[in-house]
Amino acid sequence: MTEHLLLQAAFKKPIARTPVWVMRQAGRYLPEYRATRAKAGDFLGLCKNVDLAVEVTLQPLDIIGVDGVILFSDILTPLEPMGLELSFNPSPVFANPLKSEADIDNLRVPDPAEGVPYVGAILKKLRVEVRDRVPVIGFAGAPFTLACYAVEGGGSKLFSKTKSLFFDQPKLAFKLMDKLTDMTISYLNYQIDSGAQMVQIFDTWAGSLCPDDYDRYVFPWVAKVFAGLKGQGLVPRCYYINGGAHLLERMAQTGADVVGLDWMSDLGTVKARIGHQVALQGNLDPNVLFASPDVIRSRVKEILDKWGKDSGHIFNLGHGIDKDVNPEHLKAMVAAVKEFSVR
Amino acid sequence: MTEHLLLQAAFKKPIARTPVWVMRQAGRYLPEYRATRAKAGDFLGLCKNVDLAVEVTLQPLDIIGVDGVILFSDILTPLEPMGLELSFNPSPVFANPLKSEADIDNLRVPDPAEGVPYVGAILKKLRVEVRDRVPVIGFAGAPFTLACYAVEGGGSKLFSKTKSLFFDQPKLAFKLMDKLTDMTISYLNYQIDSGAQMVQIFDTWAGSLCPDDYDRYVFPWVAKVFAGLKGQGLVPRCYYINGGAHLLERMAQTGADVVGLDWMSDLGTVKARIGHQVALQGNLDPNVLFASPDVIRSRVKEILDKWGKDSGHIFNLGHGIDKDVNPEHLKAMVAAVKEFSVR
């Protein structure tokens, strides 16, 4: 079995240099992605077209030289077979958001092999085509974040409907969380069975909660997801919150092997706080990629210097790469990581 | 001189109970505000109409019973006399954003009594009409946040133009920051001369910076603003960052008397970290106001209990109140603060 840099770093095993990948690396900043997407039609069509989804997943490996490829999909696709009608215009919209206890009772928890068969097919094909050059990363949305979308019917600035549900009817909210948690466990285990060698849980909206509410409404279900996953000690689990700087100690206690950081946290400070418990992934400000390659190189070096030379760090942006970034700038970032992080 | 609760708490002097006010308390959630605004026409017209601006400023005092009233204005109005053409549709837009060194050189730093005479007139009239029942609060945007709007030409998700300016051309960015700092000092001193009894600096977008960049691009100029203000020890200065949980120690060192918190931070934890240096303002999740009055009361009590009974806490929301909040819910919050915080 190849000792992939990414998996070694996630488990804090010795590495020759720091591995690097980028959230949303298969994305619109790449002309090659835009060409493939045009063939697929819309975004959801691309997610469900196995051949084209594999094609875009592999593009950053061949073009940018990242150390891992991540399943091309969306955190909301597994909600479709639960009974929610999803579309993208281009932001995600559910035609039938959850409005009542009956709506929540009616949610199904299907077998992912029947509900989202394309996800398994993509992962299996990816493993063949990647030829073990790098690991294949799977992912899912965390239960609270999925609940936000399902209750609001899409994105939101305040999530006031979702929060009102949790504040005023916690038992009903917890029933929803239980169903989403069961679904997420079987969905991620299906990904692992299909070949995912690392998994990341995105808890995009958990950062909008104060620490007490995170403890009440998020932590127990995330911990249950991690406890329910196959491959403990073999398939590293990463947990990412955008805007989670106030929740880092809690994130480190969920059972995650890797805590994904946005760019607000100082990597050196966070290493001192939770680096003895988990590996860390991050955390360059994505806006740095709009600066000149010289600036990009110096900012990469700053972050690598904050970590030092021991294992346990995976380089990444603190958030998804923006569609307007020049791919040459991302290449400069990846090259700098590879150059400056050699042990 | 009346010993106002708000000013006493800001300076950690003995208080009979915790004072409370709310960011954006003169706002669209109040039917009375909407009626006055309809008379004024557009938002900017209301900011410049002295009588009507005073009217909306006083509404939350009479209707809600807050312990302070805050000048009705916008952080961007003082950029108009600098040469930037401002409108609201309804988000702020500058018709001529800063694009070159010449644009920055051409910015004027006018006498606020000539540039924004309506602000002084509003404050003077407010002091008369408030009749010393509560203090009158002035405010300004912080230099970095103003720079973001002036460079982007309005709001932005990423602030990539502004950040590129700072990353790639720091000397030019600092020239802009110097001008905005000079303007902000004279603008706030003009407010103090016109009757403001406390001032708050809003650094809305500084939270989008990592700690190193905050140190490089924000801190020195905020500290310069506070050092340049009149009334040290008499007119408390509050400094608020939305999404500033990762910057609290730095905020406490700017020279602010009060650090304004969003709702992400746990008040008890923050008190232990920086409560020996500054007073704290905040920090209820604004979404709690969408919950039932019973829930609102219990959440208010949780926050008050975290602080305890010593002085140095000003109750507020962690962000501006939303336009869809029922005013009765805000009254329930204010009543709970007054009931539960009695010493």
- Nearest CA-CA distance, residue B111 and chain A, Å: 36
Of B163, B269, B290, the CB nearest to A290: B163
Q: Are B37 and B228 in contact (CB under 8 A)?
A: no
Of A212, A213, A287, the CB nearest to B163: A287
Structure tokens at A157: 């600035």
CA trace torsion B20, B21, B23, B25 (10° rounding): 140
Amino acid at A12: K
Predicted confidence band of residue B214 (pLDDT cuts 50, 70, 90) = very high
Predicted confidence band of residue B2 (pLDDT cuts 50, 70, 90) = low
Q: How many helices and strands (H and E) does chain A possess?
A: 16, 9
Structure tokens at B200: 């708050």
Give the residue from chain B lying closest to A209, CA to CA.
B264
Mean pLDDT to the nearest integer, B232-240: 98
Q: How far apart are CA A35 and CA A30, in angstroms?
A: 9
Question: What does DSSP assign to residue A116?
Answer: S
| Residue set of the binding site of A for substrate | 24-28, 74, 149, 204, 319
What pLDDT is attached to residue B311? 97
Residue A146's contacts (CB-CB under 8 Å, 6 or more residues apart) are A75, A76, A79, A180, A184
- In what helix (H) or strand (E) does residue B274 lie, and over which residues does it extend? helix B267-274
Measured N-to-C along each axis, helices B143-152 and B170-193 cross at an angle, to the nearest 10 degrees, of 120
Q: Say how many residues make up chain A.
A: 343
Distance from the Cα of residue A53 to its chain's centroid: 17
Question: What does DSSP assign to residue A209?
Answer: S
Q: Is A16 exposed, middle or buried (0-12, 13-18, 19+ CB in 10 A)?
A: exposed
| pLDDT surpassing 60 at residue B59 | yes
Mean pLDDT to the nearest integer, B88-100: 95
Across B125-223, the runs of DSSP E, i.e. the strands, are 136-141, 198-202
Catalytic pick from B29, B33, B149, B190?
B149
What pLDDT is attached to residue A47? 97
Q: Are B149 and B79 in contact (CB under 8 A)?
A: yes
Question: What does DSSP assign to residue A309?
Answer: S
Question: What is the phi/psi pair of residue B270, to 5°?
Answer: -70, -35
Rg (CA), chain A: 19
What pLDDT is attached to residue A158? 85
Question: What is the phi/psi pair of residue A316, to 5°?
Answer: -160, 170
Q: Find the chain A residues whose C-beta atoms sit closer than 8 A to any C-beta of B.
A: 158-160, 163-164, 167-168, 207, 209-213, 243, 245-246, 263-266, 269, 283, 285-288, 290-292, 295, 299, 302, 318, 322, 324
Q: Are A67 and A134 in contact (CB under 8 A)?
A: yes
**CB pair distance less than 8 Å for A167 and B288:** yes
Q: Give chain A's residues under pLDDT 70.
A: 1-2
| pLDDT surpassing 60 at residue B1 | no
Tell me the C-alpha to C-alpha distance, in Å, between residue B19 and each of A208, A276, B66, B285.
26, 42, 8, 17
**CB pair distance less than 8 Å for B211 and A269:** yes
What pLDDT is attached to residue A1? 52
For chain A, domain boundaries:
5-340
Give the residue from chain A lying closest to B284, CA to CA.
A210
Q: Find the chain B residues whose C-beta atoms sit closer than 8 A to any C-beta of A.
A: 158-160, 163-164, 167-168, 207, 209-213, 243, 245-246, 263-266, 269, 283, 285-288, 290-292, 295, 299, 302, 318, 322, 324
What pLDDT is attached to residue A2? 62
Amino acid at A311: S
Task: Please calculate the CA angle B202-B203-B204 and round it to the nearest 5 degrees.
Answer: 95
- Domain B5-340: which CATH number of 3.40.50.10860, 1.20.1050.10, 3.20.20.210, 3.30.9.40: 3.20.20.210
**CB pair distance less than 8 Å for A266 and B212:** yes
What pLDDT is attached to residue B158? 85
Neighbour count for residue A328 (Cβ, 10 Å): 8
State chain B's mean pLDDT as an integer.
97
- Test the A interface: residue of B171, B212, B218, B246 with most A CBs within 10 Å: B246
Give the range among A75-84, A262-271, B154-163, B224-233 with minimum mean pLDDT.
B154-163
Mean pLDDT to the nearest integer, B62-66: 98
Amino acid at B291: A
What pLDDT is attached to residue A309? 95
**CB pair distance less than 8 Å for A167 and B295:** yes
- Nearest CA-CA distance, residue A110 and chain B, Å: 33
Give the residue from chain B lying closest to A291, CA to CA.
B164
Q: Is B276 exposed, middle or buried (0-12, 13-18, 19+ CB in 10 A)?
A: exposed
- Nearest CA-CA distance, residue A211 and chain B, Å: 6
Nearest to B319 by CA among B293, B287, B291, B280: B287
What pLDDT is attached to residue A273? 97
Q: How far apart are CA B300 and CA B318, in angstroms?
A: 12
- Segment B258-316, tens digit of pLDDT: 999 999 999 999 999 999 999 999 999 999 999 999 999 999 999 999 999 999 999 99
- Nearest CA-CA distance, residue B192 and chain A, Å: 34
- Segment A165-223, tens digit of pLDDT: 999 999 999 999 999 999 999 999 999 999 999 999 999 999 999 999 999 999 999 99
